[in-house]
Amino acid sequence: MSSSISATYRIEGELDVARFAEAIARTVGQHDALRIGLCDDVRLGTPTQLVRHQPDNASLLSCQQVRSSSEEQFSRYARLVHGKDLAEPWDLTTEYPFRFRLLRHSPTVHAFLASFSQVALDGRGMALVLRDLWQNFEHDTAHPDFPSVPQRPSFVRAAEQHAAGGSPRTAGFWQQRIAENCPSGEPPTERPDTIDQPRCVMAQATVSGAERAMLRERSKTYGCTEFQLTIAALAHAVLTEVATDDRLHIWLPVDARSPGDFDTSGMFTVSLPVALPRTGSLLEMARQVREEVMAVAANRQMDHAALAALQASFRETDTSRGWTVSAGYSNRDQNPGEKVAQGVVARPGSYPADFQYISRGVELKVLGGAGSLSITLALDSVFSADTAADRLLNAFSAGLGGIRLARCA
């Protein structure tokens, strides 16, 4: 599932489908990231990115009339279709990095399902694409009397600049991190037979009201953000309860856009390791997390060779251990929200995909917002073979000041 990123909308009102399809066509033309493809470079023996021509309009949007006896049945079908789209592998040697579907329940209810390959778009990129899609639909920018949405900055040009970038200071920073990432000398962990175990253990908490106020005050006391506190609580729990070595690295998705790339769609996010030695207290771990996250962010731009060497070194440690630790943060207030355009209302997030989540380690997801904070922790089935999952969850909860995560069925 990690190869795709997606958005869904429930569209209420009489939708002008032809106008909507035209808006999609203009949006694809404005963002070269949506026309990224792959081809084999015979000289290097590796895939190379290319930009394809604008596809014909008929292939951009798949439209379907769904026969359903109720909207509940229609919603179940939309979630199923969306899940299948996310599970379908991408072959960018032959297809474009997007799948747009419009399902019709009635003249006044449609489901719009959009999925994108993460070779082409990250979360910021998807937000930019959706912003322009709804602007194109609202203003009919092809009409000469309306303002046009300008051609967006080129992802390909920005990627070429990034590939040639990387300062000596950044190279030195990551060379030091690679040198410190010494193998523990322990034999590779044998993964137990988990055929009869659940695929993963998932637990969630929605933090709001007095509990959110407590978490904010606790973060202030520890001198870090809420997300940094959740990372510190997780690292402290893993090192205390399940890890045998004295160092842990947590993979964080980091947006490598420069200030000039802020309005450029594309895949700029890179997965970088935050290295954290074992500490005697959560307070000290929080300090380490704050300083290391800031240092990693300051050294996020490097050339492809340096990034490949860095990731290979730390992935080797993950392979030896048998599992990985990762964390990610998103802010619902920054994501495209409800849209009102041309007499319709588009409500986001209405058709979450139905699929079985699979974790290969310890994965933390935090969704922030002004009102509430959502925390999700997914644990590999290797932790369900004994009491490790319970120990991890309890220690993580303690680090958050007693916030309890409920296991998902």
The sheet that has 339-341: what strands, in order across it?
61-65, 98-106, 109-117, 4-12, 344-348, 339-341
Residue 371: the pLDDT is 86
Q: What string of DSSP letters covers 237-305?
A: HHHHHT--SSEEEEEEEEE---GGGTT--S--EEEEEEEEE--SSHHHHHHHHHHHHHHHHHT----HH
**Is residue 201 a contact partner of residue 363, using CB atoms and an 8 Å limit?**
no
pLDDT tens digits, one per residue of 251-264: 999 999 988 898 99
pLDDT tens digits, one per residue of 321-366: 778 899 999 887 666 678 999 999 999 989 988 665 566 789 999 9
pLDDT tens digits, one per residue of 362-384: 999 999 988 899 999 999 887 76
Unique residue bearing structure tokens 């992802």:
155
CATH class of 168-323+360-407: alpha beta
Residue 52's φ and ψ, nearest 5 degrees, are -85, 165
Determine the Cα–Cα distance for residues 62 and 21; give it in Å rounded to an integer: 10
Q: How confident is the model at residue 142 (pLDDT cuts 50, 70, 90)?
A: low
49 forms bridges with which residues in the sheet?
38
Q: How confident is the model at residue 145 (pLDDT cuts 50, 70, 90)?
A: low
CA trace torsion 66, 67, 72, 75 (10° rounding): -10
Q: How confident is the model at residue 186 (pLDDT cuts 50, 70, 90)?
A: very low
Residue 391: the pLDDT is 93
Higher per-residue pLDDT: 301 or 79: 79
Determine the Cα–Cα distance for residues 111 and 11; give it in Å rounded to an integer: 6
SS (H, E, C) 342-375: CCEEEEECCCCCCCCCCCCEEEEEEEECCCCEEE
Contacts of residue 249, Cβ cutoff 8 Å, sequence gap at least 6: 181, 273, 274, 275, 276, 314, 317, 325
**pLDDT > 70: what percent of the chain?**
86
**Is residue 182 a contact partner of residue 277, using CB atoms and an 8 Å limit?**
no
Q: Which of 39, 31, 202, 14 is closest to 114 using CA atoms?
A: 31
138 forms bridges with which residues in the sheet?
none
The total of other beta-carbon atoms located within 10 Å of residue 275's CB is 18
Determine the length of the chain.
Answer: 409
Does the structure show a pLDDT above 50 at 289?
yes
Residue 46's φ and ψ, nearest 5 degrees, are -130, 155
Q: Radius of gyration over alpha carbons of the chain, in Å?
A: 23
Does the structure show a pLDDT above 70 at 169?
yes
Does the structure show a pLDDT above 90 at 296?
yes
- Mean pLDDT of the 289-296 span: 96
How many H-runs (helices) and E-runs (strands) does the chain carry? 10, 15
- Tokens at 20, concatenated: 């909507």
Same fold, 4-152 and 168-323+360-407: yes
Residue 385: the pLDDT is 63
Q: How confident is the model at residue 184 (pLDDT cuts 50, 70, 90)?
A: very low
The domain limits of the chain are 4-152, 168-323+360-407
**Is residue 268 a contact partner of residue 256, using CB atoms and an 8 Å limit?**
yes
- Mean pLDDT of the 382-409 span: 89
| Low-confidence winner among 8-12, 110-114, 194-198, 372-376 (lowest mean pLDDT) | 194-198
The total of other beta-carbon atoms located within 10 Å of residue 112's CB is 23
| Low-confidence winner among 32-36, 85-89, 197-201, 377-381 (lowest mean pLDDT) | 197-201
Does the structure show a pLDDT above 60 at 35?
yes
| Low-confidence winner among 4-8, 39-43, 54-58, 222-226 (lowest mean pLDDT) | 39-43
Higher per-residue pLDDT: 181 or 248: 248
Does the structure show a pLDDT above 90 at 151?
no
Residue 68: the pLDDT is 94
Query: Cβ-count burial of 332 within 10 angstroms (0-12 exposed, 13-18 middle, 19+ buried)?
Result: middle
SS (H, E, C) 317-330: HHHHHCCEEEEEEE
Q: How confident is the model at residue 409 (pLDDT cuts 50, 70, 90)?
A: low
- Mean pLDDT of the 11-30 span: 96
Q: How confident is the model at residue 276 (pLDDT cuts 50, 70, 90)?
A: very high
Residue 335: the pLDDT is 66
348 forms bridges with which residues in the sheet?
9
- Tokens at 366, concatenated: 């935090």
34 forms bridges with which residues in the sheet?
none
- Tokens at 161, concatenated: 């600049």
The total of other beta-carbon atoms located within 10 Å of residue 234's CB is 28
CATH class of 4-152: alpha beta
Nearest 5°: the CA angle 299, 304, 306 is 55
